[in-house]
Chain A
Amino acid sequence: MNRSLIISSVLHVILIMITAMSLPFLAKKPVDLPPIVSIELIQITDKTNIPFAPKAKKIIEKIKEKEKKLVSEQAPPKKVKKIKPDSIPMPEDKVEKIEKIEEDKQNPEKIDNEVKQVSEFEKDELFDPNNIAALIDKSKEESAETTNKTDKITQDQERNIENFGLSLSEEDALKAQIFGCWSIPLGLPYNENLLVRIKLKLNPDGTVSQSEILDHARMNKPGQGFYKVLAESALRAVKLCQPLRVPTTGYERWKELQLNFDAREMLEG
Chain B
Amino acid sequence: MKRSLFILLLLFILIPFKTFALIEVDITRGNLNPLPIAVSPLSIDENSRKNFEKILQKKNIGSEISIVVEKNLKTSGLFNPLNKDAFLQAPDIANLKPRFEDWNLIKAQALITGKVNFVEEKLRVEFRLWDVLAGKEMMALAFTTVPNNWRRVGHIITDKVYERLTGEKGYFDTRIIYVAEEGPKTRRIKKLAIMDQDGANNKFLTLGNELVLTPRFNPTSQMVTYLSYFRNLPRVYLLDIETGMQEVVGDFPGMTFAPRFSPDGKKIIMSFAKDGNSDIYTMDLENRIVEKITDHPSIDTSPSFSPDGKYICFNSDRSGYQQIYIMNSDGGNVKRISFGKGLYGTPVWSPRGDLIAFTKLHKGKFYIGVMRTDGSGERLLTENFYQEAPSWSPNGRVLIFYRETETDDKGEGFSAKLWSIDLTGYNERLVDTPTDASDPSWSSLLSN
Taking beta carbons and an 8 Å cutoff, which residues of A are in contact with B?
Answer: 37-40, 42, 44, 46-53, 55-57, 59-60, 63, 67, 71, 76-77, 79-80, 83, 86-92, 94-95, 98-99, 102, 105, 126-128, 131-132, 135-136, 139, 153-154, 156-157, 159-161, 163-166, 171, 174-175, 178-189, 199, 225-226, 228-230, 232-237, 239-240, 252-263, 265-266
Contacts and interface: CB of A to CB of B under 8 A. Distances in A.
12 contacts: A37-B364, A47-B426, A52-B355, A53-B373, A56-B352, A89-B125, A165-B23, A183-B30, A185-B167, A228-B167, A234-B27, A259-B27
A196 B313 CA distance: 38
Contacts of B15: 156
A53 B311 CA distance: 15
B27 A179 contact: yes
Given A80-B447, A262-B28, A89 B143 contact: yes
A156 B25 contact: no
Given A56-B353, A159-B16, A240-B109, A42 B29 contact: no
Given A88-B152, A89-B152, A102 B137 contact: yes
Contacts of A99: 139-140
Nearest to A242: B133
Interface stretch (B4-12, B89-97, B202-210, B435-443): B4-12
A184 B33 CA distance: 8
A228 B168 CA distance: 12
Interface string B152-163: 110010001011
Q: Which 7 A-B pairs have the closest CB atoms?
A: A89-B143, A56-B354, A187-B168, A182-B30, A187-B166, A47-B425, A229-B167
B289 interface: no
Contact of B447 (A83, A182, A259, A262): A83
Interface in B160-175: 160, 162-169
A232 B448 CA distance: 26
A42 B165 CA distance: 30
Given A89-B156, A131-B5, A239-B134, A56 B372 contact: yes
Interface of B: 5, 8-9, 11-12, 15-16, 19-35, 78, 109, 123, 125-126, 131, 133-134, 136-146, 149, 152-153, 156, 160, 162-169, 307-308, 352-355, 362-365, 372-374, 376-377, 379-381, 383, 395, 397, 423-426, 446-448
Contacts of A39: 363, 365, 383
B439 to A, nearest CB: 25
Contact of B379 (A49, A63, A159): A49
A266 B32 contact: yes
Contacts of B364: 37
B316 to A, nearest CB: 21
B353 A59 contact: yes
B373 A86 contact: no
B167 A135 contact: no
Given A47-B424, A229-B167, A59 B20 contact: no
Given A56-B372, A59-B307, A95-B141, A46 B25 contact: no
B28 A88 contact: no
Contacts, number: 264
Contact of A89 (B25, B153, B352, B395): B153
Nearest to A59: B353
Contact of B25 (A94, A171, A265): A171
Nearest to B169: A67
Contacts of A159: 16
A182 B448 contact: no
Nearest to A57: B354
A186 B16 contact: no
Q: Is the interface of B mostly helix, strand, loop or mixed?
A: mixed
Nearest to B80: A183
Nearest to B307: A59
A260 to B, nearest CB: 5
Contacts of B446: 87-88
Contacts of B131: 232, 236
A66 to B, nearest CB: 11
A262 B26 contact: yes
Contact of B23 (A164, A183, A261): A164
A50 B137 contact: no
A186 B152 contact: no
Contacts of A60: 352-354
Contacts of B137: 98, 102
Contacts of B374: 53, 55
B222 to A, nearest CB: 11
A239 B136 CA distance: 13
Contact of A237 (B30, B160, B163, B425): B30
B397 A157 contact: no
Given A40-B365, A187-B395, 8 more contacts: A50-B423, A57-B354, A71-B163, A127-B8, A182-B27, A183-B33, A186-B166, A240-B109
Contacts of A139: 12
Contacts of B353: 56, 59-60, 63
A160 B165 contact: no
Nearest to B9: A135
A184 to B, nearest CB: 4
A48 B11 contact: no
B25 A257 contact: yes
B428 to A, nearest CB: 11
A48 B448 contact: no
Contact of A53 (B32, B139, B146, B354): B354
A102 to B, nearest CB: 7
A167 to B, nearest CB: 11
A190 B385 CA distance: 33
A266 B30 contact: yes
Contacts of A48: 424-425
Given A48-B424, A187-B167, A229-B166, A40 B362 contact: yes
A99 B182 CA distance: 50
Contacts of B381: 47
A44 B307 CA distance: 29
A259 B25 contact: yes
A92 B145 CA distance: 11
A128 B19 contact: no
A50 B423 CA distance: 7
Contacts of B162: 187
Nearest to A164: B20
A140 B425 CA distance: 52
Contacts of B426: 47
Given A63-B352, A260-B25, A186 B424 contact: yes
